[in-house]
């Protein structure tokens, strides 16, 4: 009985532990089954997922190419808008300056007209008072003459004199009074005509004043419109300042390469001219030496004692030979004349482009109005013209070089010691050595990267750069 109870208690104690172990085993089996199912599902998805076909891959490639083209097109459009805005700012700034000068000039003209009108009004008032006074005196004289108009009264006035002297005076008075009347009438007519002229002058001055005021209002309106447009472009450029600076850097790099080539050509021309001058000097020295030797030989035949004298004469001639010059143009008198004529026409040279134009790039280093940290450095001036515009020579000269850079032509013309340079031509109708005259066409102006027809023009005095805006009109 006691053993039975003990066994019963032992089985009762083991029974919960066995159930818990069984639950753990079941839980592990369930977890393993779920993990296996997930793996199977993943493998099944990987098996069922299709690989992209060749057509799909090609379509993806085309879409990516279209996106790149679209981005490139947008970038080019932005660059083009930036260049146009930059040109517009420079043009508008130049126009604003001219409008302000014109407004100042009109303001001075208006002030002068107002003073003239004031003077004319005072003169007219004085003339009208004088005319009224003369009319009044003339009227009184006419009334008097009307009262004493009969011949008998005049005779009675003359012959009632107390003596002969008084008689003569009264006769002269009667004659002079008649003349006075005629003169007074003529003076009244002249004064009336003068009043009329002053009235016309005053009317013309008032008309000019009104015209000047209307013109000044129009100039102010244009000035305000230009300022607003300029501010709009400046705002756009400031929003894309990094791109602006990049474009300017590229422009400077391109211009530096062109200027380096121009400088090299000028240096080569100077060196060639100096070589020719040196060769000419040596030729003259050799000719002088031979002439001296011939003279010595001739003198030696006549007298042996005169050889020393003739030798000294030959040395004197040799020592008198002109030294080598560093100025390559002084060897040619025609070049000297051409240089002098060119210099005398400073400020009167024609613009190097045909048709209407605008200066979009000035000479020297300057800042763009409204843009921060944007500086331009131009070795000449940039002139924007119309389609079909022609580059033309600013003076008589000789084409010293024609070369290409970046798909466009550059023409250099020598005017004695001065050189004019014409860049940005799409075609030329001259060649090296061609003689050109003032305003003769050199070639057709081409389009730049942003689609405008721009001529880059430079002036040199040998290797020194000049400001073209001070030479052209």
pLDDT in tens, 171-216: 676 666 666 666 666 777 787 888 888 888 888 888 888 888 888 8
Q: pLDDT by residue (tens digit) across 331-354?
A: 466 677 888 899 999 999 999 999
- Tell me: do 95 and 229 sit in the same domain: yes
Choose among 338, 337, 331: nearest CA to 279. 331
Whether 180 maps to a domain, the answer reads: yes
- Tell me: do 342 and 450 sit in the same domain: yes
- Tell me: do 226 and 353 sit in the same domain: no
- Tell me: do 105 and 229 sit in the same domain: yes
- Tell me: do 83 and 232 sit in the same domain: yes
Whether 303 maps to a domain, the answer reads: no
- Tell me: do 90 and 231 sit in the same domain: yes
Whether 42 maps to a domain, the answer reads: no
Chain-centroid distance of CA 227 in Å reads: 18
Whether 141 maps to a domain, the answer reads: yes
- Tell me: do 105 and 216 sit in the same domain: yes
Whether 359 maps to a domain, the answer reads: yes
Q: Which of 239, 257, 279 is the last residue of a domain?
A: 239
**Greater pLDDT, 445 or 366:** 445
- Tell me: do 202 and 349 sit in the same domain: no
Output the domain CATH number for residue 355. 2.70.70.10
Kindly tell me if the per-residue pLDDT of 14 is higher than 60: no
The DSSP letter of residue 472 is B
Whether 22 maps to a domain, the answer reads: no
Q: What is the pTM of this model?
A: 0.58
| Domain residue limits at 125 | 78-239
- Tell me: do 85 and 194 sit in the same domain: yes
Kindly tell me if the per-residue pLDDT of 399 is higher than 80: yes
Q: Is 316 exposed, middle or buried (0-12, 13-18, 19+ CB in 10 A)?
A: exposed
Q: Provide mean pLDDT across the span 227-256.
A: 82
- Tell me: do 233 and 341 sit in the same domain: no
Kindly tell me if the per-residue pLDDT of 304 is higher than 70: no
Per the structure, the count of domains in the chain is 2
Residues of the chain above pLDDT 90, percent: 19
Q: Which of 196, 224, 239 is the last residue of a domain?
A: 239
Q: pLDDT by residue (tens digit) across 400-422?
A: 999 988 889 999 999 988 999 99
- Report the sign of the C-alpha dihedral through residues 390, 391, 393, 399, in that order: negative
pLDDT at 9: 52
3-state secondary structure 235-303: HHHHHCHHHHHHHHHHHHHHHHHHHHHHHHHHHHHHHHHHHHHHHHHHHHHHHHHHHHHHHHHHHHHHC
pLDDT at 120: 83
Q: pLDDT by residue (tens digit) across 78-91?
A: 666 777 777 777 77
Output the domain CATH number for residue 170. 1.10.287
CB 372 within 8 A of CB 424: no
Whether 96 maps to a domain, the answer reads: yes
- Token pair of 344, please? 């005398």
Q: Which of 239, 274, 295 is the last residue of a domain?
A: 239
Whether 25 maps to a domain, the answer reads: no
- Tell me: do 87 and 200 sit in the same domain: yes
């Amino acid at each position: 009985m006691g053993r039975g109870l003990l066994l019963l208690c032992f089985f009762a104690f083991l029974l919960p532990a066995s159930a818990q172990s069984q639950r753990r085993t079941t839980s592990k089996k369930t977890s393993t089954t779920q993990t296996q199912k997930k793996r199977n599902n993943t493998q099944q998805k990987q098996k069922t997922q299709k690989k992209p076909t060749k057509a799909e891959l090609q379509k993806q490639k085309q879409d990516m190419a279209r996106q790149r083209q679209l981005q490139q097109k947008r970038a080019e459009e932005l660059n083009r808008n930036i260049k146009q805005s930059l040109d517009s700012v420079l043009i508008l700034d130049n126009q604003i300056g001219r409008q302000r000068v014109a407004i100042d000039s009109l303001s001075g003209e208006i002030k002068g007209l107002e003073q003239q009108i004031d003077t004319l009004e005072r003169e007219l008032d004085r003339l009208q008072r004088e005319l009224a006074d003369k009319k009044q005196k003339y009227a009184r004289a006419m009334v008097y003459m009307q009262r004493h108009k009969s011949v008998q009264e005049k005779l009675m006035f003359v012959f009632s004199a107390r003596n002969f002297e008084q008689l003569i005076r009264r006769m002269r008075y009667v004659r002079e009074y008649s003349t006075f009347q005629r003169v007074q009438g003529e003076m009244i007519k002249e004064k009336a005509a003068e009043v009329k002229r002053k009235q016309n002058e005053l009317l013309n001055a008032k008309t000019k004043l009104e015209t000047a005021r209307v013109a000044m209002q129009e100039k102010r309106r244009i000035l305000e419109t230009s300022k607003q447009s300029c501010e709009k472009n400046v705002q756009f450029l400031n929003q894309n300042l990094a791109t602006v600076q990049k474009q300017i850097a590229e422009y400077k790099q391109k211009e530096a390469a062109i200027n380096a080539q121009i400088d090299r050509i000028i240096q080569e021309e100077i060196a060639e001219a100096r070589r020719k001058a040196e060769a000419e000097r040596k030729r003259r020295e050799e000719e002088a030496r031979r002439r001296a030797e011939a003279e010595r030989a001739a003198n030696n035949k006549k007298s042996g004692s005169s050889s020393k004298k003739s030798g000294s004469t030959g040395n004197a001639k040799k020592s008198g030979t002109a030294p080598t010059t560093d100025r390559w143009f002084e060897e040619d008198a025609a070049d000297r004349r051409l240089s002098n004529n060119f210099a005398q026409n400073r400020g009167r040279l024609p613009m190097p482009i045909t048709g209407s134009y605008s200066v979009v790039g000035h000479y020297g280093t300057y800042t763009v109005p409204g843009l921060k940290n944007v500086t331009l450095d131009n070795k000449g001036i940039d002139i924007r013209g119309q389609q079909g515009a022609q580059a033309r020579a600013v003076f008589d000269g000789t084409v010293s070089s024609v070369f290409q850079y970046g798909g466009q032509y550059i023409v250099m013309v020598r005017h004695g010691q001065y050189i004019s340079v014409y860049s940005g031509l799409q075609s030329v109708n001259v060649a090296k050595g061609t003689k050109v005259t003032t305003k003769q066409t050199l070639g057709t102006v081409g389009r730049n990267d942003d689609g405008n027809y721009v001529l880059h023009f430079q002036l040199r005095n040998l290797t020194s750069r000049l400001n073209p805006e001070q030479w052209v009109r």
